[in-house]
Structure formats: structure tokens, C-alpha cells
Amino acid sequence: MIAAGLALAVASAVTIGGGYVLQHSSASRLPPLSVRRPLHSLGLLFGSGTWAVGFFAGIAGWVLYVAALRIAPLSLVQAASAGGVGVLALGSRLTAFERVGVVAALGGLVLLGISVGSHAPTSHGHVLWVAAWVGFSLLAAGVAARLRPTAAGLGTAAGVLYAAGDVATKAAVGGGARLAFVPVLLLCHGLAFVCLQLAFQRGGRLASAGLAVLWTNALPIAAGTALFAETLPGGLRGASRIGAFVLVVAGAVALSRRGPAAGGEAFEPV
């Protein structure tokens, strides 16, 4: 079942990554989007056939992701999903830092494969701790978007918000009272969507979606251990799992070093 969950996670990453490529290609050429004119901005986005295909591909990828979460630990699913940054890199002219970031993320995926083995059952998290994680994530994302309204800053904010939504999703799939996290995860994903579309207009897809993908995956890997009692395996597998997490974070740092795209910072923050 663990292997099937990882296969679903990789399929999800490819689908979501491809969707981001299409969304970025379209959004980067649209007139400036603004949260002050939400209906107008949504009309611009959905008026583009390319963007709409990318959007629905992202939804399909999220469905695959939820299916993966039901049969595999959160930390493993997220680390596998980090491979989606490779999809974003296809066809791109990469800077030296971006090449380092992509290689680091894919290297983390290889180490993840080495770490796969049997796993003890995991919990769906204590409600208060999950709520605290989500609350802090909302605060951190707001600070990132406010202080650095660039492709990297907004991409980071989107990644933190998507990660919070994924943590809430893991809690919600436990059913029962934890279904109260469904509105929370929808809020997180909605805010992340806004940040990511704004990021698409301020820089390249690796500086925006690439950072979002890596933070979306790096933070829940930590949450898997901190909130959901996902224990590290021993020996080589445990070392590989830690190495995978380190490489994903290193990839995010490398991608954040890219300078602003030409003309990419001319838009107003909101």
C-alpha cells in the first residue's frame, strides 16, 4: 500500500506541475491581476483556455494527492510530490541557482525512494496542535506576502498556505469531528491560489511555482513527525529520509536566489 501511495503522489506531482506550467504561461501574459477586483481578475483567468486547462489539471492532481494520503504517511507523500519541481524545469532556461535547486529536489526524491519500507500506523493529529500549525502558517504567509510581494515572496506565501491546507487535509481524512478542518483547508488553498496567481505575474515559473511546490512539500514532511506521529525508520532508511528533507529545503533556498524577471516587478502588490 505504501508503494501505491507513492505512485499516486508522483502522478499527482506531475499533474499539478503540468497544470502550473500552463497557468504560468497564461497568467504571465494577462493584464495585471488585483485582489481589489476579484471578479474581474477571475474573468481574465478563466477567459484563457490554456489557464483553465491548467487549473483543472491542478484539481485532478489534488484528487490524486488526497487518495495518496489515505494509504501512505504524509511525510512520504510530500517528499515524493517534491519531484514536481522537475516538471516545472522542463523547457526552461535555468540560472546556476535554479539548476542547483532542481537537482537538490530530485536528489531528495531519490533518497526518499531509498527510505521506503514498512511503516507503523500514523495518527490524524491532535486537533489543537493541527489548528496551531495552521494558524501560524497563515500568519507567516501573510508576513511573507506583505514584506516581499515578488515572485519569490508570493510563491513562498503560496507554498506555506498550500502546506497548511495539506496538513488540514491529512487531519480531515480521519473523518468524524476532524471534518471541521474541511473549511480550513479550503480557506488555505483559496488564499494560496491568490498568492500564486499574483506570483506568476512577477517572475518565472521556478521562482513562483517552484518555490510554492517545495515549501508545500517541505513543511508537511516536518508536520508528519511533529503532528501525526510518523516515526523515522532506523539505519540507512532514516538517514535517507532526513537527507531528503534537507535537500528539499536546500532546493527551495536555491530557487529563491533568482533575481526578478524582466518586467516582473512592475505590478502593484495587490
pLDDT tens digit sequence for 27-64: 999 999 988 899 999 999 999 999 999 999 999 998 99
CA 177 from centre of chain: 26
| Average of per-residue pLDDT across 129-143 | 91
Scanning the structure block, which residue is given the C-alpha cell 494527492? Answer: 65
- pTM of the entire structure? 0.78
pLDDT at 256: 60
Question: Nearest Cα to 9, choosing from 174, 189, 211, 221?
Answer: 221
Q: Give tens-digit pLDDT for 111-120.
A: 766 665 555 5
Section 67-80 average pLDDT: 78
Q: List, as one string, the DSSP characters of 31-84.
A: SPP-TTSHHHHHHHHHT-HHHHHHHHHHHHHHHHHHHHHHHS-HHHHHHHHTTH
In sequence order, the 6+-apart residues with CB closer than 8 A to the CB of 90 are: 21
The residue among 73, 61, 251 whose CA lies nearest residue 167 is: 73
Q: According to the model, what pLDDT value does residue 44 have?
A: 94
Cα 85 to Cα 205: distance, rounded to the nearest angstrom: 10
Q: Estimate to the nearest angstrom the gap between the alpha carbon of 15 and the chain centroid.
A: 13
Nearest Cα to Cα of residue 194 among 255, 141, 133: 141
